[in-house]
């Protein structure tokens, strides 16, 4: 049959891989959207984590910087945490609140967010290549009527691809510097950065920064 011939020629492999990538990106979306981004728990539940955190980051920060209590949820904020008024929680290593995900991006789901962006970029590039391969250009209204859907899809894919590339590059740059979007945008308002002698007291070199983030 035609299906068997296509399978023998390997023509079914690419659509299956593409569908698998789309399904993976959907699963990653729900994973990032629904998981705990690193909500700060009650103070007594944080004692076990505090000693480990201090050994990594606090020696690089002036000793007169004290951990403060959040004025909204009344928990003692670990360093690099911030309260999100949309989520109504303080989030560890707060990066930003993502409206697409309807969730904060923080300590626990930030690596999954980067994997999701990478997967989404692969799907968009592949989809753009498929859409482009189906286009042949003619200067006529008849051609435009027959190809308007494909042409619109291609331009939308291009726009989303540009957005995904810019997001991925900016996040990878910040990760390589061991800083967050919030720290980068609000450096002058954050006490542990404003009073530090170093521009970024958490930077431990690109390789170690990436290792600590992903591993």
Q: 23-48, pLDDT tens digit by residue?
A: 999 999 999 999 999 999 876 444 54
Long-range CB pairs of 118-123, under 8 A, 24+ apart, other chains included: 118/168, 119/21, 119/24, 119/25, 119/28, 120/25, 120/164, 121/161, 121/164, 121/165, 121/168, 122/21, 123/18, 123/21, 123/22, 123/25
Q: Per the structure block, which two tokens stand in for 22? A: 């789309």
Q: Tokens 């200067």 — which residue?
A: 139
User: Looking at the predicted structure, is the pLDDT value of residue 138 above 90?
Assistant: no
Q: Per the structure block, which two tokens stand in for 131? A: 């859409």
Q: How many residues does the chain have?
A: 215
Measured CA to CA, the distance from residue 93 to residue 135 in angstroms comes to 45
**Catalytic: 98?**
yes
Single pTM value for the model: 0.82
98, 104, 177, 215: the catalytic one is: 98
Across the range 163-169, mean pLDDT stands at 97
> pLDDT-based confidence at 188, cuts 50/70/90?
confident
Please list, residue by residue across 92-114, b when 16 or more beta carbons sit within 10 angstroms of its beta carbon and e when fewer do: bbbbbbbeebebbbbbbbbebbb
What does pLDDT average to over the chain? 84
Measured CA to CA, the distance from residue 126 to residue 113 in angstroms comes to 20
> What ranges do the domains of the chain cover?
1-34+108-177
């Amino acid at each position: 049959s035609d299906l068997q011939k296509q399978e023998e020629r390997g023509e079914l492999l690419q659509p299956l891989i593409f569908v698998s990538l789309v399904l993976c990106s959907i699963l990653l979306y729900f994973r990032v959207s629904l998981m705990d981004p690193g909500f700060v728990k009650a103070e007594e539940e944080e004692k076990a984590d505090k000693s480990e955190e201090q050994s990594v980051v606090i020696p690089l920060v002036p000793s007169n910087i004290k951990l403060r209590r959040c004025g909204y949820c009344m928990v003692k904020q670990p360093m690099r945490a911030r309260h999100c008024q949309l989520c109504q929680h303080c989030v560890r290593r707060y990066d930003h609140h993502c409206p697409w995900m309807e969730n904060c991006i923080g300590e626990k789901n930030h690596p999954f967010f980067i994997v999701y962006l990478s997967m989404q970029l692969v799907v968009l590039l592949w989809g753009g290549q498929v859409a482009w391969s189906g286009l042949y250009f003619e200067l006529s209204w008849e051609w435009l009527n027959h190809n308007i859907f494909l042409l619109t899809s291609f331009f939308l894919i291009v726009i989303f691809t540009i957005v995904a590339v810019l997001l991925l590059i900016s996040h990878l740059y910040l990760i390589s510097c061991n800083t967050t979007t919030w720290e980068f945008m609000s450096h002058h308002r954050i006490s542990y950065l404003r009073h530090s002698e170093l521009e970024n007291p958490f930077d431990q070199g690109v390789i170690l920064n990436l290792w600590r983030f992903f591993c």
